């Protein structure tokens, strides 16, 4: 067992703490007033993400929730709607912000475990031009969805449908870099079918805060206007942007270790609970155990300082290989004890 001073926390990959080197980059960052467009570190981060995703422009936002909202505001006007999966973050987990703040309504559609909506469902949900209906404006996808990368080629198929109907395409790519790594594609290739793409810096990348929205010059200009309206125009934001820039420069490749850890831990769980109880997806493990078994396991693990959520366990850069070994031993102890 490791002598961890900090607990092994598998509840989310948002729980990472900035490393000393990242904190130094923040300390050293040149700054200016970003509302004036004069923060060199924010500008560098935006240029770097635009280049990485092969888009014209990008905009730093305080959170993924806000950058998704900015995208919806950029694509839609009052009375418009977005088509979205019924378990997508942009539908379920963002407080209904598009409707609350933008008078934009969601059209939720059944969403498979891998983040796909059927093309038939999408096509049937696109409204004809008629004042009885909200105006369908944009299709929102998510990659990864609960750790699962979208199947290759799927977004292209949706984009061609969107084009036939004159709709935009937005990607909630909070964990796009995990998908790119798992599928051996560049982030730009996975971003290509979309007009706008939001990525998170504060998930597996390990920055304390921040998200970036990338897209065409025109959509990003519009998003920038709404960011100010929503109170997201920040001043010497280079202090936090520096962490994101550092993460992109030094920590993207470390996501591979999270994926390896997930595989390794999933193998231990499979040995104890059987294949049907365990599904691994990039940096996440989904456990399907009877309520009582799961509660017993969670309690057993809490004895060695492990925190787990439900329904998934999430790997991140503050989980060490020795932590995975300790977890495996504890899991073995649970099944035999």
CB of 59 to ligand PLP, least distance (A): 14
d(CA 12, CA 9): 7
CB of 175 to ligand PLP, least distance (A): 6
CB of 194 to ligand PLP, least distance (A): 14
Nearer to ligand PLP, 168 or 330 (CB): 168
CB of 268 to ligand PLP, least distance (A): 25
Other C-beta atoms closer than 10 Å to the C-beta of 242 total: 27
Nearer to ligand PLP, 32 or 97 (CB): 97
- Residues β-bridged to residue 172: 142, 198
CB of 12 to ligand PLP, least distance (A): 8
Are residues 149 and 143 in contact, defined by beta-carbon separation less than 8 angstroms? yes
Distances (CA, A) of 17 to 14, 127, 189: 9, 45, 30
Nearer to ligand PLP, 205 or 326 (CB): 205
Nearer to ligand PLP, 211 or 257 (CB): 211
Interacting residue ranges for ligand PLP, rule: CB under 6 A: 63-65, 68, 89, 142, 172, 174, 200, 202-203, 211
CB of 138 to ligand PLP, least distance (A): 16
Buried/exposed code over 267-303 (b: 16+ C-beta within 10 A; e: otherwise)? ebbbebbeeebbbbbbbbbbbebeeeebeebbebbee
Nearer to ligand PLP, 97 or 333 (CB): 97
Nearer to ligand PLP, 33 or 318 (CB): 318
In this chain, which residue has its C-beta nearest to ligand PLP? 64
């Amino acid at each position: 067992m490791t002598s961890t001073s900090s607990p092994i926390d598998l509840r989310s990959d948002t729980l990472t703490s900035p490393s000393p080197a990242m904190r130094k980059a923040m300390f050293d960052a040149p700054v200016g007033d970003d509302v004036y467009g004069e923060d060199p570190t924010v500008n560098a981060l935006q240029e770097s993400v635009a280049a990485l995703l092969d888009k014209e422009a990008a905009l730093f936002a305080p959170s993924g929730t806000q950058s998704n909202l900015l995208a919806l505001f950029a694509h839609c006007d009052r009375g418009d709607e977005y088509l979205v999966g019924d378990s997508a973050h942009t539908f379920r987990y963002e407080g209904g912000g598009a409707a609350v703040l933008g008078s934009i309504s969601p059209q939720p559609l059944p969403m498979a475990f891998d983040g796909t909506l059927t093309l038939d469902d999408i096509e049937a949900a696109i409204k004809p031009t008629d004042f009885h209906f909200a105006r369908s404006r944009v299709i929102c996808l998510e990659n990864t969805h609960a750790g699962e990368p979208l199947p290759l080629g799927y977004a292209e198929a949706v984009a061609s449908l969107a084009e036939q109907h004159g709709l935009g395409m937005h990607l909630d790519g909070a964990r796009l870099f995990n998908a790119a790594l798992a599928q051996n594609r560049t982030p730009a290739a996975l971003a290509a079918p979309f007009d706008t793409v939001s990525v998170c810096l504060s998930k597996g990348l390990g920055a304390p805060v921040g998200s970036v929205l990338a897209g065409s010059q025109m959509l990003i200009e519009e998003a920038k206007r709404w960011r100010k309206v929503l109170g997201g125009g920040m001043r010497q934001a280079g202090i936090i942007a520096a962490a994101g820039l550092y993460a992109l420069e030094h920590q993207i490749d470390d996501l591979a270790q999270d994926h390896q850890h997930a595989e390794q831990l999933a193998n231990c769980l499979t040995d104890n609970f059987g294949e049907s109880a365990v599904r691994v997806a990039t940096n996440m493990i989904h456990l399907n155990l009877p309520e009582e078994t799961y509660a017993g396991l969670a309690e057993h693990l809490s004895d060695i300082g492990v925190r787990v959520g439900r329904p998934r366990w999430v790997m991140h850069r503050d989980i060490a290989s020795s932590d995975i070994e300790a977890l495996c031993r504890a899991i073995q102890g649970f099944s035999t004890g």
